[in-house]
Amino acid sequence: MDPDAVLMLREGGAMIRNIVYDVGYVLVSYTWREDFKRFGYDEAGVRRLSEQLFGSKDPKSIRTYWEKYDLHEISDEEIEEYCYSHFPQDTRALKWFFRDPSVWSVCLSDLADTIPVMKKKGYGVYLLSNYPERLWKCQVESAPFMTDVDGVVVSWEEGCGKPSERFYRTLFERYGLKPEECLFLDDRKDNTDAAGKLGMNAITLSSPEMRRTAIAELEQLPDLAR
């Protein structure tokens, strides 16, 4: 187990009363890598197209566009036009990608199925996610697990996102949560690090093993509804 993956499940501290889930790669995954192969891309081609779509850490790459898209700073039309104009050889696949994002998303039932269980056990259930508006409405808004969610803080509505301190504090203040009473599940260490600095318990879901660890921790939490 990665010793940095479980940040703080604080023994002797406040009782966990709320479970806070990220969405992408925690409750929802994406099939576009496999789907692109239907357009004739091999593994190298899929990797190239993925890097073109989502970019690198280079500040001039498309990654900055996706971050702005998450924050609702640029429109659906702007992100699409950027891709079509910069990657014209991939227009056919890109048009499919943008046409209906619901077709390349899939619910991750291992953790999604814990939501109604934790709700029944008396825990508050919240989502804290960086997500663009259109993709949220296509992929998340009508997901079955949403019926058991008590509150949502999402980047496209707030104009900021993880790992910004402001984003986490929005969750605490809006729903009256104490950080030390929250367990946060996210697939990125920079996000769980930020949560830990604010006093949240957090698990980084960096591998299948860590997903199993998180599920085991949830199972071990006491039933607050008794």
Are 110 and 147 in contact by the 8 Å Cβ rule? The answer is no
E strand or H helix at 108, and its extent? none
Residue 49 main-chain phi, psi, to 5 deg:
-65, -40
Q: Determine contact, residues 164/79, Cβ cutoff 8 Å.
A: no
Cα separation of 180 and 9, whole Å?
A: 9
CB-based contacts of 122, cutoff 8 Å, min separation 6: 223, 224, 225, 226
Domain with CATH 3.40.50.1000 in the chain: 18-27+108-220
What's the pLDDT band for 58 if we cut at 50, 70, 90? low
Cβ–Cβ under 8 Å, residues 127 and 26: no
Which one is predicted more confidently, 92 or 11?
92
User: Residue 2 above 70 pLDDT?
Assistant: no
Contact 127, 149 (CB under 8 A): yes
**Which whole number is the average pLDDT over 112-124?**
98
pLDDT the model gives residue 62 = 66
Q: What is the pTM of this model?
A: 0.92
Judge whether 153 and 131 are in contact, CB under 8 Å: no
- Reply yes or no on whether the pLDDT at 113 is more than 50: yes
pLDDT at 153 exceeding the cut of 70 = yes
Q: How far is CA 167 from CA 5, 22, 145, 173, in A?
A: 21, 13, 22, 10
CATH class of 18-27+108-220: alpha beta
12: pLDDT strictly greater than 90:
no
CA 56 vs CA 20, 83, 188, 207: distances in Å: 28, 15, 16, 21
pLDDT at residue 57 in the model: 56
Residue 88 binned pLDDT confidence (cut-offs 50, 70, 90):
very high
The average confidence (pLDDT) of the chain is: 92
